[in-house]
Amino acid sequence: MEVSRIIAEIDAQILKLQQARTLLSGTAKSAVRTGPGRPKGSKNTAATTTTTAPRKRKLSPEGRKRIADAMKKRWADRRKQSAKG
């Protein structure tokens, strides 16, 4: 016997056993997967496309000024350190 023929027969037997298992377990899922990813007709495809993006936070002008002042102070400190060393 050829090796490829033996492998083909083994694959056929595996497929038959998988089909028998799905019938006995009562699930309607296919035993053979076609590829990676979500199956066609999946219920959760609409849920992922209709979800809204999280709301953007708004920064008040006072908060923006505080951050700008803090950064200016930080940059000034760094300039002082680089001048020393």
Q: What secondary structure does DSSP assign to 5-64, as a single string?
A: HHHHHHHHHHHHHHHHHHHHHT----SS--SSSPPTT-TTHHHHHHPPPPPPP---HHHH
pLDDT attached to residue 43? 76
pLDDT attached to residue 41? 76
For the chain, list the strands marked E by DSSP. none
**Residues 5-50: pLDDT tens digits?**
999 999 999 999 999 998 898 865 554 666 788 877 777 755 555 6
pLDDT attached to residue 42? 75
**Residues 40-78: pLDDT tens digits?**
777 775 555 566 788 888 999 999 999 999 999 999 999
**How far apart are the C-alpha atoms of 18 and 6, rounded to whole Å?**
18
**pTM of this structure:** 0.35
